[in-house]
Structure 1
Amino acid sequence: MPDQPTPSTLATTLLERIAAGSALVGIVGLGYVGLPLALAAARAGLPVLGFDIDAARVAQFNAGTSFISHIPTEALHAAARAGRFEATADFARLDEPDAILICVPTPLTRQREPDMTFIERTARAIAPRLRRGQLVALESTTWPGTTDEVMRPILEAGGLRSGADFFLAYSPEREDPGNGAYDTATIPKVVGGDGADALRVAEALYARLVVRTVPVSSTRTAEAVKLTENIFRSVNIALVNELKLIYDAMGIDVWEVIEAAKTKPFGFMPFYPGPGLGGHCVPIDPFYLTWKAREFDRPTRFVELAGEINTAMPAHVVDRLALALDRQRGRGLNGARILLIGVAYKKNIEDTRESPSLRLMDLIEARGAACDFHDPFVPAIPPTREHAALAGRPSRPLDPAALAAYDAVLIATDHDGIDYPALAGAARLVVDTRNAMARAGLSGDHIVKA
């Protein structure tokens, strides 16, 4: 980075407040990104005011209760006792924080185009309350240019100017729910600012929260970093999903291939196949770049092909399930009873966002079967836009008597707490998309990989 000009008076004042630990941090959206970020700021000695549109959730937080399994209730209690955390649904208080960090959803529309609704609503809520000297940083994953082209015009509509009156930045979230090795504070933070002062104050703030900051030249670059990280995963997962189909036709176990290949100490990074992509980032973010690239008449062939392969995986799994049932009982899925293991998008968490399990349930039932599920982290399926008919469906018990009533068990999420030997002993047929049975040392004619 070239030498930076001397910070303005507004920047200096905010830098001093950050250094003294007196800067009030406002966090909009207390979900899987915002809540861990709030606690990281509180642990770093900064007071936090969290904003959320869900009044019931706000009351829950202020009572010291967490809805996220890997965020312990004690962490909320400790922050509240220290006077460093308060939640509110009153967005009129957005003029109070010195820094506002935005952690709202960025979903896709039904046409698989970026849905900027939450970002725009948040910016419009901030704009009439924006005051001189505030930092506004977007963390939501989005297409390159969002901070400058969407956020900035809305915030400047009231007369204040980015870089002169307030500071605008982008710092992509890097949360990985359920990852015991890394949390918010131990993951380096990429930071891009709209001008030298914005970068300076944003980096100073995040430097208090995380182990290391990684400054980049612009908000667009920071936005592109996040997309690149998730596209990398999407393309490589699509590759191993395609290899799974090819090797399966050849009678080769792709899981054995990957285990052997990853012994090479250089030039190979293991990725694993599955029943489809889940979570709020990897299934969605590549399409943000695809959409933006059209503006520049640039194709995104790898990105789109990966999306097609990963999107097709649930249908492939259901075909494998139907084939296994046909071989066992002679009539496929129609009239069958299926128990799906896991509706969370990854193991050992309760997050069902974009979970392929929900698509699997829809596909199974569309072919005439009844589909229940068991998930120790999800007592009932929450409402979703794409799978409204599944909302409220409860998790079923996992005991030998219950298992015996199903024609097949489909492992979609390999939670560690599942008793796989008991499942193998009681189920008539097990179709495994995660290699969970093999990892548990279990095999048999009634266990099929998909």
Structure 2
Amino acid sequence: MESRTIKIAILGLGNIGAGTVEILRRNGGLIEQRLGVPFELVRAADLDPARAKKLELLPGVFTTDAKAVVEDPSVQVVVELIGGIEPARSLILAAMENGKHVVTANKALLSAHWEELVTKAEEKRVSLGFEGSVAGGIPLIHTIRRGLVANRIQRVTGIINGTCNYILTRMARDRKPFAEILLDAQAHGFAEADPALDVEGIDAAQKLAILVDLCFGLSLAPGAITRCGITAVTPLDLAMAEELGYRMKLLCSAASERGEVEAWVHPALVPISHPLASVDGVFNAIYLEDDNVGPSLYLGRGAGALPTGSAVVADLVSAARDILSGAVSRMPASGARIRSQERGHLRGAGDSRSEFYLRVTVLDRPGVLSAVTGVLGRHGISIASVIQRGRGDGQEEAVPILVVTHEASFAEMTAAMADVDALSVVKKGSFLARIIPGTEDP
């Protein structure tokens, strides 16, 4: 055995970095039994020395100079947990240039610079581990790259943002508005002070971009993914979803059909019988459909110090096995390089089709319902059902009209919404959610 220890360095000692250190300490003996050698944390970098002091790192381990860490010849694996684009990107590239394996949980960086990082890893014959970048503690990346490597994945549907799932769960349970539940989520540490990345669906789009490459071999910028967040969802929408036999979730979805890949992040009504409907709170879940296994569900905590730290350590073990065996990244990082199907192209955002749920808030006037349904009809949208709520005592003049459509294209629905919102009787912008089909019986 060439090395008696695997020498690692961690860049970033925040929440996930601290969780990774805790796991390595608490379960170090167990990891050594399973791997055959121990890990040794030889370097760690952070701009805040207080973080290192709190972790009681050994003398000589901590520095504020991350560049010195990636240039240290004793380091075999660099763990990047700084987050963001820079300096994380430059540090990872420098580490690879120096022949070091890299582990990261940085979804923003991976989704923005995927091809560059994968190409550099292959050029320098080092591994790039990123299990922690999608769905935290769920071993999803390992499952796709190894467990399902012989299968053609046809569709991936998931709940991959715990903040949004927590907010929607609480809104449905407590019948309270988005803004109030968001404050609660922030107070409990489930939402950031600036929650836009989560509640606008940006975080989920970044993760979905990674999954699209792994599953379908298509590299996408997150901005190419059709995206809508949850800020416009109301307690009425959640109550109506349940009345209709659904639960509302912020879903990510990607599918490949005849060489075309569609990808979106959007509020969606999920049939109560569907496995994703019962996923509540901060939990994540991914529902895969492939040609050999059929449907399979993966459930767990999608964020947090220990769940994500667990994924980071799993990648460390994989890198260590490569080092000990003399192998070079036994499987390429990119789905484009391990695909069992031809690389597809992205379907136009408006071409995706589904049934839809539409809420329109209108003035309580005669003829309003016919005006709204008339617009939908002119756009070729067939209506499955309409519910018009009346005003209660003391309520304001505006009332909601709730529409469930038959299958239509997203382009048809968004064009119709624009015309509906332009009606003089519409008080505020309408809200649209997709409706996904139920699961087929085996």
Q: TM-score, normalised by structure 1?
A: 0.34
Task: Name the structure with the higher strand share.
Answer: 2
Q: Which structure ranks higher in relative contact order (CA pairs < 8 Å, sequence separation ≥ 6)?
A: 2
